[in-house]
Amino acid sequence: MNGIEFPYLGAKWTIGAFGLLHTSVASLAIGVAFVVTVAQIIAYRSRIHRYDQFAKRCQFFHVCIYNVGVVLAIGLIFSLSGLYPQFWSQLFTHFFWPFIVEEFLFFLLATTLTFHYFFWDRMWGHKKLHITLGALLTPMFLLQFYIINGIGSFMLTPGFGESEASLFRGILGWDARAFYNPSFLMLTFHRALANVSYAGFFLAGWCGVQLYLTNDRARKEHYEDCGRLCFYIGFTAFLSLPVIGYFYAHVLMKHASEAFWNLMLGQGDIMVGGVDTWWLKQLLVALMLGSSLGYFRYTLRDPAPFTLPGIMVVSVAVFYLMFYVAMGMVMTWRFFWWMLAAVAGGAALSWHMLSYGRGTARAVYLFLGLLAFMTVVLGGYAREASRPRFVQRFSHYDSVYKPTERQPVLMLPITPEELETVLAPPPPMGPAALIQSECARCHTLDRVRHYPKQDWERVVAQMIVYGARLTTEQAQSVTAHLSAGEPY
Amino acid sequence: MEEITYSHIPIATLITAFLLLAPIFEWVGYRKGDLRYDRLAKSMVFFVMILYAPGAALGTGIPMFIMGLYPEFWSRFANLFFWPLIAQFVFFLLDLIFLFFLYYLTWERMMSRKPLHIFFGCMTALFGLLIHAVWDGLGSYMMTPGRDLPMVNEAVGWSAAALFNPTYPFLFLHRFFGNISYSMLLTGGVLALKYLRCKDPEEKEYFGFATDLTFAIGFVTFFAMPFIGWGYAAAIQSNAPVVFHAIMGGHVSPHFTIKMILIGIFLVLGGTYLFVRHPRKVLPLALSAGILSLYLVLHWHPPLDWLGGDPMVWRITYTLLLVGFLIFLWMMRNRRKLTTQAPWPWTLFVAGLAAFFAFALGGFVRSRGRSPYSVYKQIEKPEVTAREADRFLLYDKCLICHLQGPNVFSRYETRDWERRVDRERERPGADISDEEAARIVRILQELYP
């Protein structure tokens, strides 16, 4: 069936472009709301007016990007409904009520944000009320993206088939099992902290730009201060990302193994122009980590070990080190060494930038802001691109609606009578498929290829002891397949 | 479905009208060296900035609601209008960039480069107008589809016949002038209240000036509406006759009558104010010409039989009303001190509100007229009742010949509808099946027992 095609970009990349642009702007908006509240509270408590001025400027920036985000969301909705009508109609029918709550929050947020910024000076005599109003934006944003995460994570891990079943049976408007799917929680945690981190680093980058543009001494001091504040916020949120990322990856390995291995091995759409986007993202994160550590080392020449910044820096370093070791064990040690090199490179670079700038951190802030932006874009792309295409109804965009029967609601090319057949368990797998699914559950297939052929009986028995779920017949067929050197 | 849009449309139309007028006011202020125009333009843009995000958020809600409640309609609609929707997105983005970053943010900084700043304002207005133009194409298609609504497996993307359908130019002009008229009348009403509450003489002078200017613009602009409306009605009559009959005497006519009463209210209140307020003859003469043109439109229009009896009753009534109104207005001239008294600002506010509700009701009347169809004779709403479908059938099949409108049915003395319909079916050209005849009889028995 022919659908509408988008010239040059193609349908898939059009959605990708709209989605990534929207996500990078919307994520920033969520984080900026938090930074504004922190800056306002600091200004109120310390009576330092310049933090309030900074918060106001950030909030204006927020109003602008919020509107840009809304317009991009409209573009995304239009292009999805024109290019992938079946997918989009189904998703909307399934999650109608979450979408409507989302819309309600959208309006509430727009009104609150507008009021908060445009009445900043008029509410000067009611500062506590004004700060509270601004602080409300963060939970509202979190609630809003909580909903989007439910729908987004459903597309990656629709569960064990119950969601599809409920859709076929005609559950409309809201489906708790589909919404609270396996990766929902991890995606929510990951995004919540990543957004704050992204906004913190981005605003620090903006302060870096201002530092380049001004020659006024007082303004320079002001932006150094504000940049530091934003950097600290970004770095604090950075702390737990590897831990959440690890568990997120674990969930994907279990519930969307193909997507997981696409990410880990750089398969399918993860590769763009010969570049592995997930690896690139990790390299950028490592560079950010190195730059941040370099920054701390330079600015806190004699850090006391048990101060808050000291503990934070050490914790982040340890968490990331653990993450890299774990990924090295699961995937390949090349990953570990590459990341370590990127961390060292980032640290050296930030040290050099600080020395060259005679203590001003403007270059480091700008560098981190850019890296944060690129990381968010690449991370979002990698997650979306990891879904295997043409495999599952919900995991790709390529279905086109056939309205021959004019089914009033679902428009699915399946009748309830066919349900049992569709949901029947898959046929038993051959040895090659078993190797792919069972061995790759814990390590890469590269590792399988490293074993000498004569050892297979011993190795397979050992793996069963480690936890490979193979029956005796399956183990025999796998051993025979591997010993014969057959492809897998 | 249309009801969902009512939250968004007043905000969006107000924004469009303000963005159109702001650069004009700014330009007039620049040419005259009168800072009051600049202040007025800036406050309008500031107001737009406040409304923009909530309006955009509500605008996003419209397709979201429609996609969930009417998935088939939206899928097919988005297939037909994919490229206009994408163009809409581009216009929206450009509008936003010009408004936020080049027009609003640079107002103070570009005081010495006013022409360039006004140019940015014009670009903002242009993109706002383009958004409006695209939506009018889509909205007018739903009433007078220029081509069939395609299935989704028939990729279309865009169709000139669909976008530039028969009522498109009329809807565009109707909304263009309607937006300016209602938004300026409402603004004038609100500014009049500010004038009333203001104590500072300088501020009072400004609000008095702004009230007069905006209210007069709104009122004068209104007189384009009867002409456009007349052409619009003619286009509807020939391309969507059922909608025409639904509005003119059919199930939507009570709403249409209320709309006309609201228009009458702001015409009387606003006209009186402007006659009393303006000592020079130019404006009263222009308004008199407007009222005469209204008379001509009513004269050309087929007689409306709301009053019953001979068509002459209708003609004599509106002639007496309009002539009486004109005489009253000219008698009220030069009583200027009346306008400084407290009730006047409230009167203007009421006139502004009447204009706003007349405008809102106009949209409602238009969209309810095509019920039970989302797109006229193309796709029905899923919630359609048998009664609605039968009523549409009755209008569609019977009013082709009975051009006087639905009231013709109430005039029959004998109500043996079965026999009557059977007899009508035998007339040449009457294409009514047995099943349709049964449905027509059923609805006639229900509506005209």
Q: For A152-164, what is each residue's pLDDT tens digit?
A: 888 887 765 444 5
User: What phi and psi, each to the nearest 5 degrees, are found at residue A276?
Assistant: -80, 110
Residue range(s) defining the domain that contains residue A36: 1-155
pLDDT on residue B339 = 60
The dihedral built from the CA positions of residue B68, B73, B75 and B77, taken in this order, carries a sign that is negative
CATH of the domain at A475: 1.10.760
Report d(CA A479, CA B209) in Å as an integer.
93
SS3 A256: coil
Query: Which residue in B431, B365, B420 sits closest to B443, CA to CA?
Result: B420
Place of tokens 């989009």: A88
Torsion of CA B100, B101, B104, B107, to 10 degrees: 180
- Mutate which: A103, A108, A121, A171, vs B, most B CBs within 10 A: A103
Report d(CA A244, CA A426) in Å as an integer.
32
Distance of CA A107 to the CA centre of its chain: 25
Q: What is the average per-residue pLDDT within A369-388?
A: 89
Asked if the Cβ–Cβ distance from A64 to B58 is below 8 Å, we say no
- Which residue of chain B has the CA closest to A66? B53
Torsion of CA B191, B196, B201, B204, to 10 degrees: 10
SS3 B373: strand
Residues A84 and A218 in one domain: no
Report d(CA B213, CA B194) in Å as an integer.
14
Residues A231 and A357 in one domain: yes
Three-point CA angle B48, B50, B51, nearest 5°: 65
Judged by phi (left if over 0) then psi (alpha if -120 to 50, else beta), residue A358 lies in left
The answer to whether the beta carbons of residues A76 and A20 sit under 8 Å apart is no
pLDDT on residue B94 = 96
Among A residues 63-82, those touching chain B with beta carbons less than 8 Å apart: 63-64, 66-68, 70-75, 77-79, 81-82
Give how far A451 is from chain B: nearest CA, Å: 52
Residues A71 and A203 in one domain: no
Residues A135 and A189 in one domain: no
Residues A343 and A194 in one domain: yes
Among B residues 69-98, those touching chain A with beta carbons less than 8 Å apart: 69, 71-72, 74-76, 78-79, 82, 85-86, 88-89, 92-93, 96
Instruction: Work out the angle between the directed axes of helices B82-96 and B71-80 (0-180°, nearest 10).
Output: 80
Residue B100 or residue A313, greater confidence: B100
Give how far B4 is from chain A: nearest CA, Å: 12
Report d(CA B386, CA B372) in Å as an integer.
10
Torsion of CA B169, B170, B171, B173, to 10 degrees: 80
Asked if the Cβ–Cβ distance from A70 to B57 is below 8 Å, we say yes
Distance of CA B56 to the CA centre of its chain: 20
Decide if A336 is inside a domain. yes
Decide if A168 is inside a domain. no
Domain count, chain A: 3
Report d(CA B100, CA A21) in Å as an integer.
19
| CA B411 vs CA A128, B218, B404, B407: distances in Å | 69, 41, 11, 7
Q: Which H or E run includes A43?
A: helix A10-46
A413 lies within 8 A of chain B by CB = no
B116 CB-side CA count, 13 A: 9
User: What phi and psi, each to the nearest 5 degrees, are found at residue B380?
Assistant: -85, 155
| CA B402 vs CA B245, B370, B399, B409: distances in Å | 10, 19, 4, 9
Query: Which residue in B21, B157, B7 sits closest to B83, CA to CA?
Result: B157
Identity of the residue numbered A414: I
Among A residues 115-134, those touching chain B with beta carbons less than 8 Å apart: 118
Q: Is B385-447 CATH 3.40.50?
A: no
Residues A223 and A321 in one domain: yes
B158 lies within 8 A of chain A by CB = no
Q: Pick A85's closest partner by Cβ from B56, B96, B152.
A: B152
- Residue A130: is its pLDDT beyond 70? yes
- Residue A295: is its pLDDT beyond 80? yes
Report d(CA B355, CA B347) in Å as an integer.
12
pLDDT on residue A169 = 55
pLDDT on residue A408 = 34
Report d(CA B418, CA B413) in Å as an integer.
14
Q: For A38-60, what is each residue's pLDDT tens digit?
A: 999 999 999 888 899 999 999 99
User: What phi and psi, each to the nearest 5 degrees, are found at residue A478?
Assistant: -65, -45
Residues A147 and A212 in one domain: no
pLDDT on residue A429 = 66
**How would residue A396 be classed by pLDDT, with cut points 50, 70 and 90?**
very low
How large is the greatest C-alpha to C-alpha distance in chain B, in angstroms? 81
- Which residue of chain B has the CA closest to A119? B50
pLDDT on residue A449 = 75
Q: For A98-117, what is each residue's pLDDT tens digit?
A: 999 998 999 999 999 999 99
From chain B, pick out residues whose CB is under 8 angstroms from the CB of A411. 71-72, 75
Residues A74 and A150 in one domain: yes
Asked if the Cβ–Cβ distance from B89 to A109 is below 8 Å, we say no
Asked if the Cβ–Cβ distance from B61 to A106 is below 8 Å, we say yes
Decide if A412 is inside a domain. no
ipTM above 0.90, yes or no: no
B342-362 residues labelled b (16+ CB within 10 A) or e (exposed): eebbebbbbbbbbbbbbbbbb
Report d(CA B251, CA A442) in Å as an integer.
69
Domain boundary among A380, A395, A410: A395
Q: Which residues of chain B have pLDDT under 50?
A: none
| CA A479 vs CA A247, A385, A429, A486, A488: distances in Å | 32, 34, 15, 11, 12
Q: For B337-395, what is each residue's pLDDT tens digit?
A: 666 666 888 989 999 999 999 988 888 888 888 888 989 999 888 788 888 899 999 98
Segments making up each domain of chain B, as ranges: 1-165, 172-373, 385-447
- Mutate which: B152, B154, B383, vs A, most A CBs within 10 A: B152
Q: What is the mean pLDDT of chain A?
A: 82
Residues A140 and A207 in one domain: no
Q: What is the average per-residue pLDDT within A309-314?
A: 79
Decide if A14 is inside a domain. yes
The answer to whether the beta carbons of residues B30 and B114 sit under 8 Å apart is yes
pLDDT on residue A398 = 38
Interface size, chain A vs chain B, as Cβ–Cβ contacts under 8 Å: 148
- Residue A422: is its pLDDT beyond 70? no
Lowest mean pLDDT of A116-125, A253-262, A364-373, B165-174, name the range. A253-262
Residues A232 and A358 in one domain: yes
Query: Which residue in A32, A71, A33, A38 sits closest to A52, CA to CA?
Result: A38
- Which residue of chain A has the CA closest to B100? A64
Report d(CA A278, CA A284) in Å as an integer.
10
Decide if A416 is inside a domain. no
pLDDT on residue B2 = 58
pLDDT on residue A245 = 87
Decide if A163 is inside a domain. no
Residues A463 and A347 in one domain: no
B54 lies within 8 A of chain A by CB = yes
Q: For A180-214, what is each residue's pLDDT tens digit?
A: 888 899 999 999 999 999 999 999 999 999 999 99
Token digits for B367? 């969209």
- Residue A399: is its pLDDT beyond 50? no
